[in-house]
Chains A and B, each alone.
Chain A
Amino acid sequence: MGERIIVGISDQKIASNPDVLVSYALGSCVGICIYDNVMRIAGLAHILLPDSANRQDNINVYKYADTAIERLIISMERKGCVRYRLTAKISGGANMFSSIGKSVGEKNIEAVKKELVRLRIRMIAEDTGGNFGRTLEFDSVSGMLLVKSIQRGNVII
């Protein structure tokens, strides 16, 4: 049994076999889980907002979809991962309170998908949207993502 590495909001971590990446209680946030199945290296970025444009200079790049994912990919490549092997699973992006217009969760999901396309990372699974919170456990051994929810129960993608 590996170590559990906690990934906070606006943060990202990389784990290798046999460790597990854990991110608690995502609401509108999105967790982007990147995996290299040859290296058995897993990366998880937990973003809060879609877009870093029009922000101040000293932004936290881990906070935004359009800056965080690329940073994670580069960090994983530095550890020996190869871009064409990387796959993505994404989860979160819920709408906890009904909102007028497009919710932050929906905008986050959209921005993440757009960024994955730009970076040429294949998205192989997603569990997104709804109106419930999720906790993510991303296993570096198998690349499996366990999504836990009080409302909906657990699923593995």
Chain B
Amino acid sequence: MRVVVVGAGLAGLVAATRLATAGVRTTVLEARDRVGGRTRGIEVAPDRWVDAGAAYLGHRHAELNALITDLGLKTTPTGMVGRSRFALDPGPPRTAPDRFPPLNAVALGEMFDALDEVTRTVRADAPWLTPDAARLDRLTAADWLDRTVDHADARRFFPLFLGEMMAADPADVSALHMAFYLSSGGGIRYLNAFEGGAQQDRVDGGAHQLCQLLARALGDRVRLSRPVRAIHQDGGDVVVHTTGDAWRCDAAVVAVPPALADAIDHRPALPVRRTGPRTAPGGAVKVHLVYPEPIWRAEGLSGWSVDAGGPMMSTVDDSPAAGGAGVLTGFVTGARARRFAGLGHPEQHATVTAQAARLFPELPAPRQIHVTDWIHETYSRGCYAALFGPGDWVERGPHLREPHQRVHWAGTETSPEFFGLMEGAIRSGDRAATEVLTHY
């Protein structure tokens, strides 16, 4: 049997590894000149790497933890010790203990209670079968907020929370997708937490190593710089077309984000497209501010900040465990990410430098600034993951994992568990490999 895997991100490489191990003749076609998809490393000091893309994991990410061990890698805890800075209203930023925002706690609690309730009602394995699916899929998360939460403090905090959780603006996603995403990731408590939650650890030395090591073991089965243009099926025959080449196979695994899967010329055509007019790219631009060392720790600060003014909505201390640099990762998400992505580099750097100086006046100017715009990455089209808008789950959801004849689907957006995360990508690759190995 011969199988072509489209996409050398985590999902594609996990699928390819399982297929190759089972003796299947496997080829991975990758559009970029690198592997890794939405994981990528940036070297901020000699042999000191930070994650330009996916970065965090927790204990429940069992497949990812197992893969890290199998590949001989280690995890390192994401430090979150000390006081935080909040700039949620005009005036100088305020210092607060841990991650307690200077807002009305009762109002925030009511908002989280409501979010938890809607999250618990959703069927993560099949969101379109959720009891209230039709209504929740018509509303945007912004509509849901309007109808559910009154207090100004909660309304102010909600977009920041959603931006941090799923790189979405409340107007981007349906309430059903919001509830699904939060449920799929383990619930609001798990997804929000660092210690004991989904941000507890990072891959020591960078998450990009996962795909690099998987690709190394696959050797010349992985072909770079080969964007797939078309997949034509005729009876039992599948032909995957790149520019100039054609790869004949018995089955294909398409392990790219939904918008890119739609951009492939499928014949026969897909009965239901994987994205629609309301589907948005995950709105994340990641900023790395690099300092000689994590200077903020000496000031009793965790490096965590939340800023309603932006462009960075929050900052996290992602300094390499081995030392050599202090790194604050800034998350620019949602509507403000789209505006920020439209600026030139000098303006981006000036804006985030000014913001860092306002949030952390005790720090010098960063010695390096890295800006990673995932929204306009041709071969990702967004990060953390596709944002399903109103109507998407009810119309397209039932088809997301359904093979199109001999084309099987992988990618974190096809995983009911840990959708949008590395763990979801791995599980999807595993499932797609199982489908291929059992069907043919």
The judgment on whether A and B are partners is no
Residues of B within 8 A of A (CB): none
Residues of A within 8 A of B (CB): none
